[in-house]
Structure 1
Amino acid sequence: MKIIVHDIIDIFKENISNLEFIRGVFSNPSNPNLYKKINLKPVEIKGDIFIQFESFKDNKAFHKNLSLKETFTYLIEIIKDFKQILITTSKQEIQILQNKKGFSLKRKAITSKKLEFSHNKQKNYILQDNTEIPFLIKLGVMSENGKVTKDKFNKFRQINKYLEFIEDTLKELQEKKLVDNSMKIVDFGCGKSYLTFALYHYLKNIKNLNVEIIGLDLKEDVINHCNSIANDLKFNNLKFLKGDIKEFNQFDNVDMIFSLHACNNATDYSLLKGLELRAKAILAVPCCQSEINQKIDKSSTTEIKGILSPFGNHGILQEKFSSLATDALRALALELCGFNTKVIEFIDMEHTPKNILIKAIKGAPSEDKLVKKRLEYDRYIEFLGVNPIIDNLLQPYFKK
């Protein structure tokens, strides 16, 4: 049966819309410089159906999840580049072959299969298990055959959770036209840099953006090791530098900064540096928020020893309250600096079950909103009865 490109697109549309599409395989490319093979499968992400494209070239696998509209547009671009297409649905296999005369189609009935969007979250991950991903292999998260190692599966989950936040942040930045197809990013306190490598791979290899990423840390041996891995992977625009957050000056303008588990006031200095570098997005996962807790013990005006004495009378409760109070203050201070903020859970299975992530995206708050936020901020500082470092650091950036 002879068909044309439009007919093939209709086959995909019909089976995807009817929830009968299981998978697709594009193989035998007409040009050796193209992807060797492309696999397609449906995935459910936050209640919406996407099509995941897994493309193979030069022994590397590249992944991207496209909306249905984006999927059909992309299919039109690639169909003519492959001599063989296999479409598996819940009821049949459809084989499409291309030669000089055009496309031909054969259908084969199969035992009925039920399409199931996995209840196993692994299948909804941005990065997939059982798929060779070079940077994960290099970092020891995966074996050479692409299987996540048992002792690193928590790290694998953490990386994917992190990339979900990055995916949402990127979408918001693009919708607000704060970034286009290029980004400058700094990761403060990058450590072993699992997430820094994941960020580069996601933005460069999956989202096809032009990126420059710098990881900053104080440990010279860690920095040298990470630079060696980046060179081996040919991650040309990913660099690691030894240095202190306060002294960083490699970029004078950035699109995003990320700070993971910067201890105590190191988080405050990373927020300040984000403002100094005019960052459009700030993502911070604070750690060891001890400053306010210590200052409460020395304060004669704090309501933690007054109205909230049931907390202040117990050291462990005061410590937990102070950690939350610190991050609430950080989020509020960033709003006064002109950002829209959200405080959400960051799941880090390798460290603690739950962490807080402060997400701040550059906004344009009205004067009235800023006045109300400033009143809220001043009341809050008075209630705490302390003079936190972040107040001194960020005050110069408060919008008037």
Structure 2
Amino acid sequence: MGNDVLQLMDELKVDKAVLLGHSMGGYIALSIAQRHPERLNAFGLIHSTAYPDSEEGKEKRLRAVSTIQTEGIVHFVDGLVPGLFAPEHVESLSAQVTRVKEIGYQTAPQGATGAALAMRERPDRRDVLSATPLPVLLVAGEKDAVIPPEQAIGKVFTLKQQRKHTEALSELDELLRRQFGLNLSLLNSLPAEDVIEMFRFRGVIEVDNLQQAARLIEEEAYIYNEKSKVEGIDDHEKMESEDEALILSILTKSASKTAVDLSHNRKKQYVLEDGVPVSFLVELGIMSEEGRVLARKYDKFRQINRFLEMHELFDQIESSVMNPLLSHGILKERFSALATDAIRAKLLDLMGYKTQLLEFIDMEHTPKNILIRAILIWSGLVQTCFQGSLDEMLRWSLLAIFALLTAMLASRANGAQWFACGWQMAGGLLVLSGVLAACGVLPLPYGVMRTADPEISSAGARLGGLLQYPNAYGAVAGMYALERLVAAARAIARPLSAGRLIAALLPLMPAQAALLLSESRGAWLATGCAAVAAFALQRRGARLPLLLATAAPLACAAWLYRQLAAAQLAPAPVPGLLALAGSWAAALLGTLLLCRLWHSGARARAAALTATGLAGITATALAVASTADRMAAGVGTGLSRLQMWRDALKLWTEAPWMGHGGETWRSMFRAIQSSPYVGGEFTPNSTESWGSWPLDRVEESQPGTILNKP
């Protein structure tokens, strides 16, 4: 849906806009702010939240999907809409309730279930709010039962009385108009700087007392505490009603992140201090007789201080080598400013920050066009990195112990038989449990990953099975399917009884179905390459049995995948079980028939080969038809993966031998990424292992954890 909004902006030729999202629209606004912040001047969440669904909320989403599928959209809407209004207003606002219901009735059931499942799997985007440089407006209703106010972060407009989820949206325009003299349509037509100024300086704060609040906002140290007074505002300047309180603040970091030590920060020190009377400033009308700078003259106060600062710097700059440069006043001023920024960056380096000087444009406040970007990479985080390195040591030690036990078992008598038994039990458990979960028979929490992003899943759901991760599950299912395929081909090549042949073929179709249901393109590619290699390495007489063993199970697995994908891997249990049983039986019977034809005369062999070719074409057509949308939309994620690996290689080259400490990629990727990544699904395990050893250099940044972990 975020892509739809961007396409609409492109059609309307709107480069940047102020985006306000209500309820589910807030999730879309957060997605756009995360992936395409350059398209926004500002954004707001109206009765929405950056928090993910709780476990209870996820269960409610699944119950909603079940209600829509079993009882229809009308029954679902009739139960949902009254809860969006305050109980005492359901009857008095009956026309509005009916109108909202009519809108809901027009929603397609598949779209409603897809939206519910997408909201269920949405990631935690509190980091987007805390890290965005854009102005953010959060609106919450005090009595809203859908999105309670405590799920809003930072700055909140509390609407008066007992407004609920839908009613409060109509109050927003009135609130903006009353407090700011603005309306929603006007905000969309304003540039970002005008929006910032209007939200900073209009409404609740008196003009004469604005200077301190403006300075606090400018210094990014204006932190809101709901139970405390706003610093610098007198009691008589408060709003008449707490129900209509308007709070301005800079968003703070979420509580889930490690607090950053900012004790080295200091307040801006001016040559002429605020609060100390200066006679000529009083005469110019910039300062009161008590020494308080008037808000409307605060820019002039800063400008005069800037002039005095540069005058002091000019007297201190002396260099015979740079006399040609320093003989010009304007160049001397520019050099002083740049030298100051260079010294600040160096001090930040000494404090443990990784600094970078960037160019930016702020026409109102400064002509310097220099921004210091600083990211804390080690101070106070040695313990975190040390813990990450210990975790990596435990993981690799566990793998080493497993390899040692494997070697010990292989050296014993009957060790190969124990390996075969363990492999069949583990593979059968993973495959069968996953397929039964996809058919709606076996409840498997987190066994199915659901998403509304077509770049991640064309069906809206991907099978993760007991591993709870589709890519890893697809890789394991692919290995198991290949092993069973080779075993089945060997059985077909020899004249065996039907019972022994069925025993060899039994796990093959479910394994192929599990591989398809994972929708892991990497697992598909790896399995396909391995299958081609296995075919090429077979003796000439054993190649055709390999094709015969593949044909019927693969065609039936593709048909089952198409049926389950149409139901978003959430069919009713009975139809799902019938589809699994039918496709499984068809795969076994089809392979038995091909085997019998293969061991008959030449004409029967030709018929078997023809049937094999038709089955292969059918399987390919079904698989391609079901995944064409994702293959077409997956170019962005593919390029993003390539960009991730490039950034990871760059990080590795910084310390290829000494390392950065444990959990390197998870904590440092935001500091080194060259551009925003498309999608949120990426496995950093290999990049983690690059930078984890040894422990004598445990440096780590703390810009946040990877989203949707990933």
TM category, shorter:
0.3 to 0.5
> Which structure is larger by alpha-carbon Rg, 1 or 2?
2
TM-score of the pair, normalised by structure 1:
0.36
Q: Which has the higher helix share?
A: 2
TM-score of the pair, normalised by structure 2:
0.23
